[in-house]
Amino acid sequence: MINRVLLRIKILQMLYAHYKGDGNSVKSTVKELFHSIEKTYELYFHLFQLSVEVTRYAEQKIDSRKNKLHPSEEDLNPNTRFIDNAFVKQVAQNKCIQDFLSEHKISWANNQDTVKLVYDLVVESIYYAEYMNKEKNDYPADKDIWRKIFTKIILPNEDFYDSIEEQSIYWTDDLDIVVSFVIKTIKRFTAENGKSIELLPMFKDNEDKEFALDLIQNAIKNEAEYRTLIDDHTRNWELDRIAFMDILIMQLAIAEIMTFPTIPINVTLNEYIEISKSYSTQKSGNFINGILDNIVKELKSNNKVIKVVKI
């Protein structure tokens, strides 16, 4: 599930913490990186459980209205389509999800305000109205309403984003990517296999895990070499006046270029230039692109970078 886009971002964050921290060792930085990755994986399950919690909250609201002193006809005979959602029932019974939540002690119990926030946003939305007014129930609609809740209601909401950050410092900047994997997983659910479907693994394969380990270790181990390359190609700039994050992005990009012969150079450059748009200054993209382009030319001329085609 944790793809290389997110891995690069997390490694950059750990690299920043490594240099800004108080004498962090490489070993402790690597340990912190993988702890951060594990926490992101927890968010994936936490979001699935949110669908169950919001539905449970909706059911409590219906029960409360039924028990009013003078309930209306609507209170006594509510539209139960939302709380009868077949997809959510599968999530609540899915062994993979529930075992993980139990093992890692993940719960929304201490964040009921956020559950209420999502419920209120949902019932006020046009998507909820359309869903509740459909002529008949069907499983695709039950999945689709939650796809819309995640992408069109939850993601754009700043209060929800703030809540996620408050729940874990490791979830900062993770929400967009993790929601994309929640949506990908929702598509895999069917009426027949929803209870038994396995969720996405933390890593697609061991190669991605090794990528993360090798990249952060080489970026730190060969810091002096990479910083010298950066310094040599920024002679018209005082190194201490270049944004520190720009230096780290270039250091990480050089480490990837020199460590992984099967990753095309243009892929690496594009990935880090894209990262710079979110994690550094407005001008960083063009600046980093120009410097790295010159560094790559030097490395090639000195036969220090060799790329092979992966078959």
Instruction: For 66-82, write each residue's pLDDT tens digit.
Output: 888 888 888 788 899 99
Q: Same structural domain for residues 296 and 157?
A: no
Q: Same structural domain for residues 228 and 89?
A: no
Burial class (CB within 10 angstroms; exposed 0-12, middle 13-18, buried 19+) of 46: buried
Q: Same structural domain for residues 32 and 110?
A: yes
d(CA 97, CA 102): 9
Q: Same structural domain for residues 143 and 236?
A: no
**How many Cβ atoms are within 10 Å of 182's Cβ, its own excluded?**
25
Q: What is the DSSP letter of 111?
A: G
pLDDT at res. 163: 95
Q: Same structural domain for residues 166 and 58?
A: yes
Distance of CA 94 to the CA centre of its chain: 22
Q: Same structural domain for residues 37 and 135?
A: yes
> How many folded domains does the chain comprise?
2
Q: Same structural domain for residues 182 and 57?
A: yes
One-character DSSP codes across 187-251: HH--TTTTTTPPPPPSSSSHHHHHHHHHHHHHHHHTHHHHHHHHHHTTTTS-GGGS-HHHHHHHH
Question: Which CATH number does the domain housing residue 257 bear?
Answer: 1.10.940.10
pLDDT at res. 39: 96
Q: Same structural domain for residues 143 and 273?
A: no
The residue range of the domain holding 269 is 222-301
Q: Same structural domain for residues 30 and 155?
A: yes
Q: Same structural domain for residues 181 and 53?
A: yes
Residue 141 within any structural domain of the chain: yes
Residue 211 within any structural domain of the chain: no
Residue 201 within any structural domain of the chain: no
d(CA 263, CA 273): 16
pLDDT at res. 235: 83
Single-letter amino acid code for the residue at 230: I
pLDDT at res. 309: 64
Residue 264 within any structural domain of the chain: yes
* Structure tokens that stand for 209 in this block: 């895990």
- Does this model's pTM top 0.75? My answer is yes
Predicted confidence pLDDT, tens digits, the chain (311 residues): 899 999 999 999 999 999 998 767 999 999 999 999 999 999 999 999 999 999 999 999 999 988 888 888 887 888 999 999 999 999 999 999 999 999 999 999 999 999 999 999 999 999 999 999 998 889 999 999 999 999 999 999 999 999 999 999 999 889 999 999 999 999 999 999 988 999 999 998 999 999 999 999 999 999 999 999 999 999 877 666 789 999 999 999 999 999 999 999 999 999 999 999 999 988 899 999 999 999 999 999 999 887 776 65
Residue 292 within any structural domain of the chain: yes
pLDDT at res. 135: 86
d(CA 98, CA 105): 10
Q: What is the DSSP letter of 171?
A: G
Q: Same structural domain for residues 158 and 275?
A: no
Closest-CA residue to 2 (of 31, 29, 40): 40
Q: Are 37 and 2 in contact (CB under 8 A)?
A: yes
Residue 181 within any structural domain of the chain: yes
Q: Same structural domain for residues 40 and 102?
A: yes
Instruction: For 166-181, write each residue's pLDDT tens digit.
Output: 999 999 889 999 999 9
